[in-house]
């Protein structure tokens, strides 16, 4: 690690305040170019610690940059991960308030809920499917705290991978008879189709993103416990939303999920 504890605490407080006050900032590597990956995740961990200390509950995990298109766009080979806090959850058909957000974008995702722990190294698609209780359609709202989404990957990791809000559909589908690679995905904004894709856009198979997450956590001596909700990553590029927008995601065999921005 290149940053000392007090710098990590200061940067975590700064980024979390930007999130809570819905204001943007310049990427933190401008001031701390020496920051390394351990520093970036230590800042994210400190943001999580601050939330838990204030009474928030951590309700899940997210994998980010898991589509080849997005990884290529960002010039990276490894996905990243973040956490989901209780107040990020929007009820199905519910509203996200633009006054609490900076410049949100929506991503169509497949959410997994585990029924057994997953611990890397060595997790693969098979171990993930065996440990999956059910999957659901999910819309992730990303809202980078960095001005105009101008960042590098370490700054993004420190900022909890732009995590902001999410909604999951109410129908739980077991994975036994589903081929998650070939499920068609259609996202609509105000009744117009804005993105189309298939599950395979996420690392060839969305369960591969969960395996990669378990393996990354395993390197830190952590596991994905049973009963964890995990967003497996955007199937298409993120789409910007504004007040008044109504977003519906339909995933073949999994049903639909909807949310509005007010
Ligand atoms: O959910 C994700 O794919 C992570 C996004 C982080 C980068 C961004 O804000 O676009
Ligand atoms: Mg995402």
- Tens digits of residue pLDDT in 224-252: 999 999 999 999 989 999 999 999 999 99
Ligand 1 centroid to Cα of residue 123, in Å, is 23
- N- to C-terminal Cα separation, the chain: 41
The answer to whether the CB of 204 falls within 8 A of the CB of 50 is: no
Q: What is the pLDDT of residues 161-210, one digit of tens each?
A: 999 999 999 899 999 999 999 999 999 999 999 999 999 999 999 999 99
Atom 4 of ligand 1 has which residue's CA nearest to it? 64
CATH 3.40.50.740 assigned to domain 57-261? The reply is: no
Residue 80 CA: nearest ligand 1 atom is 4
CB of 166 closer than 8 Å to CB of 138: yes
**Pocket lined around ligand 1, Cβ cut-off 6 Å:** 62, 64-65, 70, 107, 140, 142, 144, 149, 156, 161-162, 233-234, 238
- Give the torsion sign (CA, 214, 220, 223, 228): negative
What are the extents of the domains in the chain?
57-261
Q: Which residue, by CA, sits nearest to atom 1 of ligand 1?
A: 64
Tell me, yes or no, if the pTM score tops 0.85: yes
């Amino acid at each position: 690690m290149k940053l000392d504890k007090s710098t990590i605490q200061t940067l975590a407080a700064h980024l979390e305040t930007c999130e809570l006050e819905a204001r943007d900032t310049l990427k933190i590597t401008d001031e701390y170019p020496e920051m390394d990956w351990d520093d970036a995740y230590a800042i994210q961990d400190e943001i999580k610690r601050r939330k838990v200390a204030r009474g928030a509950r951590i309700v899940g995990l997210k994998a980010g940059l898991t589509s080849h298109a997005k990884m290529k766009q960002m010039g990276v080979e490894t996905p990243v991960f973040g956490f989901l806090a209780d107040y990020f959850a929007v009820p199905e058909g519910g509203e996200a308030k633009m006054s609490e957000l900076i410049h949100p974008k929506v991503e169509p995702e497949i959410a997994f809920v585990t029924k057994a722990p997953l611990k890397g190294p060595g997790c693969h698609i098979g171990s993930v499917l065996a440990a999956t209780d059910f999957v659901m359609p999910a819309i992730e709202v990303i809202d980078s705290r960095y001005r105009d989404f101008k960042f590098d990957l370490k700054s993004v990791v420190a900022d909890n991978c732009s995590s902001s809000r999410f909604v999951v559909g109410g129908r739980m589908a077991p994975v036994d008879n589903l081929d998650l690679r070939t499920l068609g995905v259609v996202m609509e904004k105000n009744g117009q189709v804005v993105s189309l894709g298939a599950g395979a856009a996420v690392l060839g198979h969305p369960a591969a993103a969960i395996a990669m997450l378990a393996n990354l956590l395993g390197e830190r001596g952590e596991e994905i416990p049973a009963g964890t909700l995990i967003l497996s990553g955007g199937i298409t590029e993120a789409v910007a939303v504004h007040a008044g927008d109504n977003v519906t995601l339909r995933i073949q065999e999994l049903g639909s999920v909807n949310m509005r921005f007010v």
